[in-house]
Structures are given as C-alpha cells and as structure tokens.
Amino acid sequence: MGKRNPNNYGCVTKLKGKRSRPWIVKVTVYDSEGRARQVPVDYAETEEQANIILAQYNNNPWNIDRNKVTLLELYRRWSEVQLSKLGKSTQASSKTAFNHCQKYYGMKYRSLRAYHMQDCIDNCGCGHSIQSQIRTLWGHLDRFAFECDIIEKMYSQITTTKTEAPETTRSPFTPEQIAALWNIQDQPNVDTVLVFIYTGFRLTELLDMKTEQVDLEQRTFQGGIKTAAGKARIVPIHPRIYPFVENWARQGHKYLILFDGIKIRPTSYYSRWNEVMHRIGATGKTPHEARHTFETMLDNAHGNRKCIDMLMGHKSRDIGNRVYNHKTLDQLRETILLLK
C-alpha cells in the first residue's frame, strides 16, 4: 500500500482514455464558507512527474481560489508551468504582449471579459504583429485558467486583431534571374544560392545542416527547424543541384557547407549572398525569397499541395490532407522534378 499524503496536501490520479498527459495533479481549496474541494493545477505524462509538480506546488503554494486569482497571479503561475515549454521566440513575444495588459494586472481573472482583452489589443499602439501576440497570450491564459477551473468560458476566442496583416513584399526570383545564376554557377557562393532555390530551406536550416543529414545514395536531405511539421523533414535533392551537394558531402566535414574551412553564421553569409545578387542584377533579394521562389514554382507547376507542404515543412491547411494523405518518397521526388 502506497504512502498516504498528508491532509490538504493534494493528490495525483490518472485520467481514463488515451491522453498525452493522463496524470492530473489536484489540490484542496476552500471557499468563503470553509467548504473544501479539489481543483486541478496541472497535468503530467507520468505519475513521477505529477508527484514532482505536486511537491513543488506545496513548497510554494499558489492561491488558486478562483474568485481571488488576479491576471498577474495567473500569468506568473502560467509562466512557471507552461511558458518554458514554448519556443524561445514565443516566450519573448508572450512577455512583450503581457506588458500591454498592465491596466488589468490587479483584476480578478474570473471577472475579465472579451472587451477587456480586446481593449489591450486595440489600444496597444502597435501593428498587426504585436496585436496578434496579445491575442495569442490571452488564448494561452484562458486555456490555463479553464484547466484550473478558474473560468467557465474562454472569452479570448471572440477577440480579434484590429489591423489586417500587411501584404508581403517578397517576390520570387524570375526565370531570367535563375538562368543568370546557372550561367555563373562556377563563381563563388552561387552554388549555395541555387541550393536555397531548389530546396526551399530556410537560411539557418541549410547553413546548420550536418553532412550526416545528407543521404547521397537516396539523394535526400533530412533536416529542418521551427515547427513539428518542419523538423527532420525529407527533401529530395534535385538533379541540377546534386553535383554541388555531392561535392560538399564528399569532403567529409561535420557541416555540409563551409566557407574558407569554417561554418559561417547567417549574418556573415548575407555579404556573400548580396555579392551574388549584385552580379545578376537582383539587388535587394533575400534568402527567404529563395524559399518563396521554391514554393511558387512548385505551385505554378501544379504540384500536389500536400507534397509541397511537406517539402516546405508546413502543416497542411486542409484537415483531410493533414490527417489522411500520406505521401511517399517517390511522390516527393516527382514533385521536386517539377522544378525545370
């Protein structure tokens, strides 16, 4: 028989069904009339993790009385439990967004309504990007408060951003510019530009790629960053750039691409990129426009949308494609070959 927890310590129980975090951590709270009830404070993948969370909670109890928890208290607790699980850029944007919610820091979270959240969005004095970050933060906090039984409705779901997302100023390389690159392919750094165009990799994805991520026999790359759909994705090597990739890989260095024998940082690569752009009369073009070119060319060639999303590392917008449409390596190769 397991050791019994002290009175009012809380408990750990396992929920039924298939869940990624089936262990629920509950603590005892009292209402204004002294009546006790258990409320959830977090969820965990294993029983051991759940018991650690419960112990941490008891070492530094958080006032979880749903009638008294303020926005500031909720944000601090959410930061301790959830923020570290998010990406670094999301962590930074969440902290920035919370600075625009200061007027409601002391307000009880249970009393917040959509118009309070919307006020922070509309009057932040910033553009679409920051407004979206504030709206996203309210969504995170609402979900956490709902899980903790602090609120019964998530008002963040009916908030909106006041301004529309600005239209992109990116434009793909023209066929003439790509032809100009092939005409000078033997000149310094041109090979890297062409590989960006024919793979759709982001700048850091290619510059950070290790030689072990290239399979010359299968003629594939395996790499990527940023999202679950983008990490470790398979991108077939187009025949036109294969000689470049083979030459780099055969050298046997840790990283696929080296400049003067060393791995280069993205900020240093820009000067080399800009020199190539100057040679073909495409001053102002960026490495991300090579990625944009890759997707545009495949779309113009009527490539399968699911295959294009997989090659780009994007999550398919269509639910049916996302769940049921599993593409093979041969189908990805067929899509890559649409790049003439």
- Taken in order 287, 291, 297, 300, the sign of the CA dihedral is negative
* pLDDT value of residue 318: 46
For residue 10, the surrounding DSSP H or E stretch is none
What are residue 24's DSSP bridge partners? 13, 43
CB contact set of 73 (below 8 Å; sequence gap of 6+)? 62, 63, 109
| Higher pLDDT pick, 321 / 255 | 255
With cut-offs at 50, 70 and 90, classify the pLDDT of residue 152: confident
| Higher pLDDT pick, 114 / 315 | 114
Domain locations along the chain: 8-61, 64-165, 175-336
Tell me what the pLDDT averaged over the chain comes to: 85
pLDDT above 90 as % of the chain: 53
In angstroms, what CA-CA distances link 37 with 16, 31, 64, 119, 131?
Answer: 21, 8, 11, 34, 38
CB contact set of 277 (below 8 Å; sequence gap of 6+)? 283, 284, 285
* pLDDT value of residue 311: 92
> pTM of the predicted model, to two decimals?
0.52
- Domain at 175-336: CATH architecture: Orthogonal Bundle (1.10)
What does the chain come to in residues? 340
Coil, strand or helix at 46 = coil
With cut-offs at 50, 70 and 90, classify the pLDDT of residue 65: low
Asked if residues 309 and 285 have their Cβ atoms less than 8 Å apart, the reply is: no
According to CATH, what is the number of the domain 64-165? Answer: 1.10.150
- In 3D, which of 87, 79, 77 has the Cα closest to residue 40? 77
- Cα(62)–Cα(293) distance, rounded to whole angstroms? 51
pLDDT in tens, 200-247: 999 999 999 999 999 999 999 997 665 444 467 899 999 999 999 999
Does the pLDDT value for residue 170 go beyond 80?
A: no
Does the pLDDT value for residue 112 go beyond 60?
A: yes
With cut-offs at 50, 70 and 90, classify the pLDDT of residue 54: confident
- Cα(138)–Cα(87) distance, rounded to whole angstroms? 17
* pLDDT value of residue 31: 52
